Structure 1
Amino acid sequence: MNGKDSRTMRKLMASIALTATLIAISGCGSTVDGYAMPGEIDVRLLEVGKYPTRPLSEYSVFSHSFKSGRTLASMRLADSLVLGQEVDPKLTFGSFQSIDSDTPTVMSKAVLPALKPNRMLYGFATGNSDMKEFSAMSLSPGDESLADIMRQRKPTYFGLTVMQFSDAAAAERAAAEIERLDFDVAADLNVRVSLDKYPSAHSHWRPGIASMVSTLSHGSYVLNVQAGVPEPEAKGLTNLIQKVIDAQLQRLEKLTPLSPVEVVQMTSDPDQVLERTLNPQKLGIPDTTNFGSYGLQGFLQTRRDLSIMQDSYKKAGADRFGRSWDSYLIRTRDSDAAQTLLDEMFIGDTYKPTHAPDKLPSAKCAENNDAQGDIKRFSCVVQYRRYVAHVQSHQLPDVHQRAAAQYAILANSQ
């Protein structure tokens, strides 16, 4: 082989080697799904059953609409609503409801005519009591027999509904009309009340009944507060209502109202926590209960017992939470904080430890001794870097698959 042929052969071999390298690189690029970083498990080996292992954006695209925007604005408002413990340390049992339609069920039918004509945009209702078996939301508007039964338990509680209207004038009209319509339901029994600290508030009660309601406007917002104490005593009721208003107005001062256009433009997952949360339903439509992103304050609004884990969340620097169909995800300060938070989960008499998935050493699982309502029999938590995720099911094999799928989603979201 002469020199020219030799040089030609060397170039050909180099070209073949380069091509082979590019093919190998391309091949590796096509199979990175679940690729394990040093010290991490290979998620391709996990038993995930039917559950998705890819981030939400790969199978669901959010579409802006006024309906979805109202729900998202309601969640945003939840992050600025007062919690019971800020009013009275013993008010640790919560309940909530979003207001993303013109006919919210949390409001009495009698007052609904005051909402749409005054261009109510959205709202959020929260309730807190000192009794686990009592929910402020159980005082169904217009159901006096149920309300009487619930009051016989002699709770201390408040129910707070905050709604944003199109402007301050509309809010002021709505507050006055809500009071008028509510008062007229039993005008012969109700008595008007004046709050010393808030003379512009519209308030009334029914002597002999241990509850009172007050409605006032504040800029574009309307606050509707119902409070109850063990005995029908006006001073105790007015004091509690004023404490609720005091605490809530401080928070509303920091919340800029939204225009209708801004409501439509609301983003569903600005911090990408829902992107990383197990979504068995594969649904990306905002839903206050089942699918939403919250800050710590808003997430606590959705928890029944405010005394559980609240201090642990704060210590871990937990600042964003994703709720997604029986799963929720917590973003903490860093991986060390996430590990500490995971270690503090499932502590107490409510839980009985049970075994975790064999191939998922980061998981921790427990059986819930108080499974009822939306609390399933089995729960597992997994940690990946700065995130901690919680999944649940009535079946142990199923909760193991959910935990594995959730871990895979976290790994595949990097």
Structure 2
Amino acid sequence: MLDMRHGFGRLRSARIGVRAAAAAVLVISVLTSAGCGSESHAAEEQTVDLSKLDTGKFATKPQDPTTTDLAKRTRIIEGLRLGNILPLASEIDPSLSRNASATNVFVEPNSYDGLLNVDHFSTDTTGFVSGFATSGRPSKDVFLGYTLTNTVMIFDSEASAASAATALARSGFAPDGTNMQVGPVQSSAHPAAQMIWDHTNQRLASWYPTGKFVVFSLIDQIENRTVGNGFGIAPEPAPVALADKTIDVTTDRLKTFQPTAPDQLAKLPLDPDGLLRLTLPRPAGDQTANAFTGTLDQHGALHTVGDPAMYRALFDKTGVDFFSYGAGILVRTKDAASAQTFLDAAFASRFKHRIDPPAGLPTATCTKYHGPDEYAAPFTCNVAYGRYVATVWSQQQQDAYQRISAQYAILANSK
């Protein structure tokens, strides 16, 4: 069974902020043209009558994406470009085999209580453009080992980045009611890094300005904290060497990324690879799925899945090159057989029980979730069409049925 909890079948906010769970820093979708590659539609044409599908008020034909907030959308696109090159947590420390974060791109802080104080984020980060956060841990069990959250923020100038690193470090951790022992620590490898260490809670935060970027890392040694508090074991020293490695690996990747000039952001294409036009568009105000619109390439999509190593193998096997995010997710594989292979592997779960597909769409696979994840969407539907695999989820069964039917119709009408 593969774990798609980060990208598929969960209900979440679009924002991942510095004040969220064990990890992220702040807040907060990619494919090629539909005309590329060969398609095999014979089976679909024989079995599905589009006129009999209940698609509700959802779109049923491909359409070029639009936005009512171009400035925000293009900043998100810039953040997604960044996510396509950033290292996974496992590429910094191979023991961090599990991804720990959900939606990864952000353009503003959220309001959740969490580890860091972001009450003054807007004033602390003058010139902030966009960012991308990724997080990993060694086990599904959140109490084992430690969590590393690695985030890069893009600014409009080197001066803005340097100023933000200092200001964010000054804001520091959010008060949490414990007798926190917080103080600065110094990296001999990266003296420009602003690092603070919460000895009581075994948390290290580091902000490192480099060019127009700030590399922010948060190391939460939850197992050390739990064991130390429970058994009176002396806490470990600040993991500065790991923060240094995070900076080294990340800055090396950033050499391949050219940030878009602020006055050119509005010119970024909304659908650079032509896949969003095939993706079920998100209705106004809709917060289902990832609650943002855009695309990620194969590497970028690995940030969003629970087990990156397993998914990397599946992506390679099925030729996945892009994920597109709208009112669901559309995945492009190399051919129709690979699409079916991907669908069968990616969505299997002992907690998902098959239910009838929507009327008129017998090729869809729909499930109802019964399991321990309180954030899992109750209803999920998936369907393969040609080289594409679509998935949608919802709190309501009929809504999931209408979404998958409309997404299928868009693909069928793209011929």
- TM-score where L is the length of structure 1: 0.73
Decide which of 153, 160, 171 is 1:170's aligned counterpart: 160
Residue of structure 2 in register with 1:263 after alignment: 265
* Residues 53-111 of structure 1: per-residue CA shift (max 9 Å, x gap): 523527x6346732222222222222223222222334413214533148887862366
Relative to structure 1, the CA distance from residue 209 to residue 160 in structure 2 (aligned partners, 3 Å threshold; closer, same or farther) is same
Q: For 1:280-291, what aligned pairs fall within 5 Å after superposition?
A: 281=283, 289-291=291-293
Name the CA distance, whole Å, in 1 between partners of 2:303 and 2:323.
Answer: 12
* Residues 151-201 of structure 1: per-residue CA shift (max 9 Å, x gap): xx4640112221111222332233233334439999x94333222432332
Relative to structure 1, the CA distance from residue 358 to residue 308 in structure 2 (aligned partners, 3 Å threshold; closer, same or farther) is farther
Are residues 1:124 and 2:132 paired? yes
- Kindly state the Cα deviation for residue 265 of structure 1 after the two structures are TM-superposed: 1.6
Residue of structure 1 in register with 2:336 after alignment: 335
Are residues 1:190 and 2:201 paired? no
Relative to structure 1, the CA distance from residue 394 to residue 109 in structure 2 (aligned partners, 3 Å threshold; closer, same or farther) is closer
Q: Which runs of 5+ in 2 are unaligned?
A: 1-39, 225-234
Q: Aligned partner of 2:52: which letter?
A: L
Residue of structure 1 in register with 2:105 after alignment: 98
Name the CA distance, whole Å, in 2 between partners of 1:279 and 1:198.
Answer: 44
Name the CA distance, whole Å, in 1 between partners of 2:192 and 2:364.
Answer: 54
Are residues 1:234 and 2:237 paired? yes
Q: Aligned partner of 1:198: which letter?
A: H
Residue of structure 1 in register with 2:27 after alignment: none
Residue of structure 2 in register with 1:225 after alignment: 217
Residue of structure 2 in register with 1:142 after alignment: none
Q: For 1:3-402, what aligned pairs fall within 5 Å after superposition?
A: 38-39=42-43, 40-41=45-46, 42-57=48-63, 61-62=66-67, 65-86=70-91, 87-95=93-101, 96-101=103-108, 108-109=117-118, 112=121, 115-117=124-126, 119-130=127-138, 132=140, 134=142, 153=143, 155-182=145-172, 189-229=181-221, 230-231=223-224, 232-234=235-237, 237-279=239-281, 281=283, 289-303=291-305, 306=308, 309-325=311-327, 327-357=328-358, 359-370=360-371, 372=373, 374-396=375-397, 398-402=399-403
Q: Which runs of 5+ in 1 are unaligned?
A: 1-35, 135-152
Name the CA distance, whole Å, in 2 between partners of 1:283 and 1:184.
Answer: 30
- TM-score where L is the length of structure 2: 0.73
Name the CA distance, whole Å, in 1 between partners of 2:86 and 2:307.
Answer: 16
* Residues 246-291 of structure 1: per-residue CA shift (max 9 Å, x gap): 3322221111012112222222222222221223626799x96332
Name the CA distance, whole Å, in 2 between partners of 1:371 and 1:322.
Answer: 28
The SS at the match of 1:264 is helix
Relative to structure 1, the CA distance from residue 89 to residue 402 in structure 2 (aligned partners, 3 Å threshold; closer, same or farther) is same
Q: Aligned partner of 2:405: which letter?
A: A
The SS at the match of 2:350 is coil
Aligned length: 355
Q: Aligned partner of 1:123: which letter?
A: G
Structure with bigger gyration radius:
1
The SS at the match of 2:152 is strand
Name the CA distance, whole Å, in 2 between partners of 1:361 and 1:293.
Answer: 28
Residue of structure 2 in register with 1:14 after alignment: none
- Kindly state the Cα deviation for residue 133 of structure 1 after the two structures are TM-superposed: 6.3
Contact 1:291 1:324 in 2 (8 A): yes
Contact 2:203 2:219 in 1 (8 A): yes
Name the CA distance, whole Å, in 1 between partners of 2:400 and 2:272.
Answer: 28
Report the RMSD for the aligned CA atoms in angstroms.
Answer: 3.5
The SS at the match of 2:172 is helix
Task: Name the % identity.
Answer: 26
